[in-house]
Amino acid sequence: MARSPHRIAFDSSRRREGRSCNAGSLSPPGNRASAYGHRGAPAGSLVARCRVPWLRRFRGETMEIPFFFDYACPWAYLGNCRVEPYLRDLGVEIDFRPVSLKVLYEPPPDGAGRPKLGGRKRDNYAGDLRHWADFVGADFAAEQPKSRPDSDLLLRAAFVAKDAGRFREFHYPAYRARWAEARDVARPEVVRRLLEGAGLDGAEALSRAESPELAERLQCESQAAVARGVFGVPTLFVGDEMFWGNDRFELVRHYVAKASD
């Protein structure tokens, strides 16, 4: 069977960890979906300037839906590996939207730390990732960094590639660099090489990714996602219906089919 042109090749002997990354608690905060009510964001606010199209229903035969991700999340990586081929036969085009989990994160009340996983739950979490990696054919490096590299520069570089019409040429190798090769994607030289691999002028594209304008853009897109109700990645929308998690794609497919009727 021919592989999808965007599918990443994998070695099942090196798989670890896979479902969704939650920036805060395991259930969405009750007040986020209606952060600004029906009036929208205050005029002049950062969110109001974002102009994010959550669903452009049809463009010819194609339905376009947003896929919110952060390169820092292994669950979004797993979802990224299969979302396009999984929905392609329904005439769906995925609009990949970089967001920062640091912005999506909702601190616990009273400065309390985030709850830590107990031993059995931690083992199950790792096993769940391994099972999903095997299911979608996703490669994980045998050794991952003890602390996750900051992904902001990589996310801003994704905007640069997107603006230049070279997004997928950058995006798929970027995810592979982070999770299949365990490269330090916070280092500018790593990001520059990925931009060059996408066919861009590495120095020029990196300079743009490092600019205050792109830092504000990432903040803007992330805050707009929060205002919409996004609290973790991967998250997709079909109209006003929100689906969080790599294991919600079957529901996404169901609602895409309903919206197409």
Span 225-237, pLDDT tens digits: 999 999 999 999 9
Closest CA to 174 of 163, 161, 165, 164: 161
**Bigger pLDDT: 72 or 30?**
72
- Residue-wise pLDDT for 140-197, tens only, equals 887 888 788 999 999 999 999 999 999 999 999 999 999 999 999 999 999 999 999 9
Written in H, E and C, the secondary structure of 160-222 is HHHHCCCHHHHHHHHHHHHHHCCCCCCCHHHHHHHHHHCCCCHHHHHHHHCCHHHHHHHHHHH
Judged by average pLDDT, the poorest of 32-36, 69-73, 129-133, 232-236 is 32-36
Domains located in the chain, CATH noted: 12-25+53-260 (3.40.30.10)
Which three-class secondary structure state does DSSP give residue 58?
A: strand
Contact 175, 73 (CB under 8 A): no
What is the per-residue pLDDT for 7?
Answer: 34
Q: How far apart are the C-alpha atoms of 95 and 220, rounded to whole Å?
A: 17
> What is the rounded average pLDDT for all residues in the chain?
79
Judged by average pLDDT, the poorest of 15-19, 237-241, 257-261 is 15-19
